[in-house]
Structure 1
Amino acid sequence: MAPRTERRPGSLRSLLLWILVPAQIVVLSLALWFSSRQLHQQVDLAYDRSLAGALRAIDHNISTASGGLAVELPYLMLEFFELTANDSVYYRILTEDGLADIGNQDLPLPGARLPSNTPVFYDRDYLGATIRIAALARPMSPPLYGQQDGRIVVMVGEDRAGRDRVIRDLMIRNVVRDLVEVLASTGLIVVGVLIGLRPLTRLYRRLKRRAPDDLSPISAPELPREVQPLVDAVNQHVARHARQARRQRQFLDDASHQLRTPLAVLRTQLDYALRESDPAEARAALLAMRGGLDQAQRTAAQMLALARARGADTPAGSLRPVALTPLAQDVIRQLYGLARQKRQTIALEGGELDATVTGVEWLLREALVNLMDNAIKYTPEEGAITLRIERTPGGMVLSVRDTGPGMTETDIRKAGRRFRRGQAGKRGHGAGLGLAIVHTIMQRHGGALRIEPASPGVRVSLVFPGDQGFPGKSPA
């Protein structure tokens, strides 16, 4: 099967012109057709009034008082009417029973019976031409031949050629006028479309001249209101791209900052181990290298987790109820081996509450793993770690308490920042990527990271709001 080729969309300018110009031509054509019909009606009305006047004039000169049908034709009026019509004029006067007939006796009668005292107008072919005929029937007064219901029929006809010439001349004028209007309005439409699309053309040229790294919002107040939503959507997309670019640059800065020193230390230790001839000293250097590799591996994993948490999109459709008790139990099983190496005990309290929060399960798991990992790291051997789930008036709280050295007030205030530095020998000393990851995740969930000193150790809590809101991403 041949691949389907997508149709390339045309320009907006061509689309508008192909819609507006033919539509205008169709509308003007319909208007010309209606005006033609009205013109025929108006011309016929004007000529029919003249024809009715001649009909009435002849009727007034008809008499049956002498016992027969007598008529005195108004020749001057008929001559004037013929000159006005510029064509031949015909007349016929007859009784309805046909016993008396004067004038053009083959002038055709209408197909139906004529009403009394009301002129009737119709077209007929006569002597090879189309003529317009006005016919009037009225009772005879006095009646002839003793017929009380007898009527006289008066007919006047004229050739339609004259009025058709008038209609044709007027139609030619109307067509010329409408053609001028079409051309003028088409030109105005073309100019209007070009002027209306000029702001889009200027915006296109301005964006084309931009530097590749220029992600500033588009400012185009001169654009029409209909285009502004599109510009707003583009600005939102560019803003998301700019945030993503900042995260990537930040990740590269973090990676270079955090991995440069461990790699340099490893290189130094490796050189020392290669130069050392004493096996014991060489083994000690290799063990130190293994510890440095473990620290570098942990730092790299935390940096990837921080970048992933910062770049995580959390639309409303991705939120699901997360049960805290199974989550806590899974994390305890995951890190139990590390705690076992230091002979530490881990307890879970509040697991019977069956508490749930609304969020993204893998992000919450990442936050709890970092809290537990920090607690295991800083709690001395044979220490105790307590993971507690509780409901409070302010919302759901998931806390981790240890019996480690604790944190100073200064370190608590700085908790959640990248690469924070604390007092040497205390818990706050060293990289703060773990708490930074937790802080970022809680921002995504509309919650908070709370650190409180305990005696001994420290208590670190994940506080979820009571309404389980998810207000959106905060700037990383």
Structure 2
Amino acid sequence: MTRRAERRPGSLRSLLLWVLVPAQIAVLSLALWLSSRQLHQQVDLAYDRSLAGALRAIDHNISTGSGGLSVELPYLMLEFFELTANDSVYYRILTEDGLADIGNQDLPLPDARLPSNAPVFYDRDYLGASIRIAALARPMSPPLYGQKDGRIIVMVGEDRGGRDRVIRDMMVRNIVRDLIEVLASTGLIVVGVLIGLRPLTRLYRELKGRAPDDLSPIAAPELPREVQPLVDAVNQHVARHARQARRQRQFLDDASHQLRTPLAVLRTQLDYALRESDPAEARAALLAMRGGLDQAQRTAAQMLALARARGADTRASPPGSVALTPLAQDVIRQLYGLARQKRQTIGMEGGELGAVVPGIEWLLREALVNLMDNAIKYTPEGGAITLRIERTPAGIVLGVRDTGPGMTEADIRKAGRRFRRGRAGKRSHGAGLGLAIVHTIMRRHGGALRIEPADPGVQVSLVFPIDQGLPGNSSF
């Protein structure tokens, strides 16, 4: 056995918690990462706007009209900006050719050439600190030194410490908020899983506390809709098991009812034979015992056939098309020896019709064997038995007619019941198991068992309705 086969499946509660809680943490972690990126972008955007404002203010105070680069720095604005940023502020103003350079002259330029009239923002290390720089390049008006395309570059930088502290404080608040959300959502998931599985726990306790013979359906309307199909399937399985249990109990009752008396009679006959000193009397007792054994054997065979017919599994023996003529001929050959012992004649009519009915072949054979066996048993020596196949408005009829003593109207109405006894002077069909078997088989085939008085004897027929349908659609 492999290690995988040895592993026991975990509980549904553990499975849900181990799936939902980590998934919740993973989703919230991803959300925290995304919010961190967005926070950096938003804070940079806000601070960059202030940086761009300082850049524009310096640019408006630059002049080249005197033949040189001059600037009147807005100190009040820069001081206010420095106080607002709460960090150091740097500036640099230069011509693109580098001939004029004012301010923090080592403030680093961007790696790429600046576009005209569009501020560019970038990060650099300056004086041992990380700073944010805004740079703007614009054409000189008027140009210096006779240049036609010269440009002035204006740069303003600030230490990133202030904005990084803002981002860090906001991130701490976001993390605390998200942790609270994770804990709250995890708690809600745990509580929801426990509450959602509570009906299953109650169902488990109810089933565990049931008596072994309690096969009543499970009634749990409070279960979730997703579990109801499982409960319905379990109820169907329990119903099948209950039917099987009833058949087993019925079989045991039948066996106890039918075999108790023959066994008691055999015991009495055996005791009589052992006490008898006259060989002729002992032989007579032994012959009686043989007759009793034959009867007990026949009863046991009929009881097994009845149990088999009631418990037939159509999945193991699916319905098919059964040709009645070959079936009838096989049954006649099977019982011909018994009829010859009583010098009875067996005839067959309607074999040329080629009638075919939907059903299970071995069940229909068992039904016809019981009809023929009853006919042979109750037909006197020298009598006649006729097996007839015909088409009628009611359907296809497979009938067995004999020249026996017949049956009363009361017995015909009770035919098919187990352990029925006939009236005195009439046929009783033993304990009634033969016709009970036939009745059960025909009911499973959607047909009917019909008994009609004849002169002389009786005719017992199997009736298959015309609208019974194809074998695959038969009612089994």
Shorter-chain TM range is over 0.9
8 Å Cα contact 1:443-1:474 kept in structure 2? no
| TM, length-normalised to structure 2 | 0.94
Structure 1 unaligned runs (5+)? none
User: Residue deviations 1:185-233, cap 9 Å, x none?
Assistant: 1111111111111111111111111111111111111111111111111
User: Residue deviations 1:257-299, cap 9 Å, x none?
Assistant: 1112222222333333334444333333322222121111111
Residue 395 of structure 1, CA deviation: 3.2
Residue 251 of structure 1, CA deviation: 1.0
8 Å Cα contact 1:95-1:101 kept in structure 2? yes
Instruction: Determine the structure 1 residue equivalent to 2:109.
Output: 109
SS in 2 for 1:221: coil
Residue 2 of structure 1, CA deviation: 7.6
Instruction: Determine the structure 1 residue equivalent to 2:447.
Output: 447
CA distance in 2, matches of 1:140, 1:149: 8
Structure 2 unaligned runs (5+)? none
Q: 1:449 to 1:26 in 2, by over 3 A?
A: same
CA distance in 2, matches of 1:76, 1:339: 133
Structure 1 segment 21-420 matched on structure 2, within 5 A? 21-314=21-314, 322-420=322-420
8 Å Cα contact 1:444-1:473 kept in structure 2? no
User: Residue deviations 1:29-52, cap 9 Å, x none?
Assistant: 100010001000100000000000
| TM, length-normalised to structure 1 | 0.94
Q: 1:436 to 1:470 in 2, by over 3 A?
A: farther
8 Å Cα contact 2:215-2:242 kept in structure 1? yes
Deviates more, 1:281-290 or 1:418-427: 281-290
Residue 432 of structure 1, CA deviation: 0.4
Q: 1:412 to 1:11 in 2, by over 3 A?
A: same
User: Residue deviations 1:408-438, cap 9 Å, x none?
Assistant: 1111111111011221121236410000001
Residue 378 of structure 1, CA deviation: 1.1
User: Residue deviations 1:70-114, cap 9 Å, x none?
Assistant: 100000110111111111111111122222211112212222222
Q: 1:18 to 1:2 in 2, by over 3 A?
A: closer
8 Å Cα contact 1:444-1:470 kept in structure 2? no
SS in 1 for 2:138: strand
8 Å Cα contact 2:444-2:475 kept in structure 1? no
Residue 131 of structure 1, CA deviation: 1.2
Residue 351 of structure 1, CA deviation: 2.3
CA distance in 1, matches of 2:459, 2:113: 113
Q: 1:289 to 1:474 in 2, by over 3 A?
A: farther
8 Å Cα contact 1:445-1:471 kept in structure 2? no
RMSD: 2.4
User: Residue deviations 1:125-169, cap 9 Å, x none?
Assistant: 222222111111122222222223222111111111211111111
Deviates more, 1:325-334 or 1:3-12: 3-12
Deviates more, 1:266-275 or 1:136-145: 266-275
8 Å Cα contact 1:64-1:143 kept in structure 2? yes
8 Å Cα contact 1:443-1:473 kept in structure 2? no
8 Å Cα contact 2:442-2:449 kept in structure 1? yes
8 Å Cα contact 2:398-2:463 kept in structure 1? yes
Deviates more, 1:442-451 or 1:460-469: 460-469
Residue 446 of structure 1, CA deviation: 1.6
Deviates more, 1:263-272 or 1:54-63: 263-272
Q: 1:57 to 1:120 in 2, by over 3 A?
A: same
Deviates more, 1:152-161 or 1:36-45: 152-161
Residue 439 of structure 1, CA deviation: 0.7
Q: 1:471 to 1:431 in 2, by over 3 A?
A: farther
Deviates more, 1:46-55 or 1:259-268: 259-268
